[in-house]
Amino acid sequence: MGDSEGTHETPGRLSHVRETDQGPESRMVDVSEKPRTRREALAAARLRFPAGVLDEVLAGAGPKGPVTEVARVAGVLAAKRTGEWIPMCHPLALDLVEVAFQRVEGEPDCLEVRCRAACTGPTGVEMEAMVGASAAALTVYDMTKALSKGITIEAVRLLEKRGGKSGTWRAPEAD
């Protein structure tokens, strides 16, 4: 169903909201006419652990197995299924999903999960990268909660995106 009489898009507005005579309504954006180009995004999620718990986790002391490997697989699977998690996202044939873990410099009890997603398609992969990072962080929590219920997940965010009409964007403090 395309735009019909009584509906319109306003440039610079939310792309998933269409104004109608009855008020705003949600919609999945039609990307059929957009060029298929290389798209890439990098997102991160941080986990903060009570003192000493992260050392245990990284030493392989997780009660449910190899924490980062299970979380890596969870992140990849979730990124591939983003269209099922987020209602207005298009299902994409991803060419790449990578999930990596690193301690945050200067914060000994903080672990950052990074997820990179890429495809050649008509729409970006920012949501796929963010869903992958989020799912991997949630999996780390699930696998380590027996060590402490005080673990928090914070700062899920886009670090950079490349491709598409808007080109390259990078978070100011992303490294």
Q: What is the pLDDT of residues 121-147, one digit of tens each?
A: 999 999 999 999 999 999 999 999 988
1-5, 122-126, 147-151: which has the minimum mean pLDDT?
A: 1-5
Q: What is the pTM of this model?
A: 0.84
Q: Over the stretch 68-87, which tens digit does the pLDDT of each residue have? A: 999 999 999 999 999 999 98
pLDDT at site 19 = 76
Is there a catalytic annotation at residue 142?
Answer: yes
**Closest of 149, 131, 150, 118 to residue 36, by C-alpha:** 118
Point out the catalytic residue in the list 30, 55, 109, 142: 142
Domain residue ranges in the chain? 34-159
DSSP state, 5?
T
**CATH fourth-level superfamily of 34-159:** Molybdopterin cofactor biosynthesis C (MoaC) domain (3.30.70.640)
User: Which residues in 3-42 are b (16+ Cβ under 10 Å) and which e?
Assistant: eeeeeeeeeeeeeeebeeeeeeeebeeeeeeeeeeebbbb
d(CA 74, CA 118): 17
How large is the average pLDDT for residues 52-69? 81
pLDDT at site 1 = 37
Tokens at residue 160, please?
């950079």
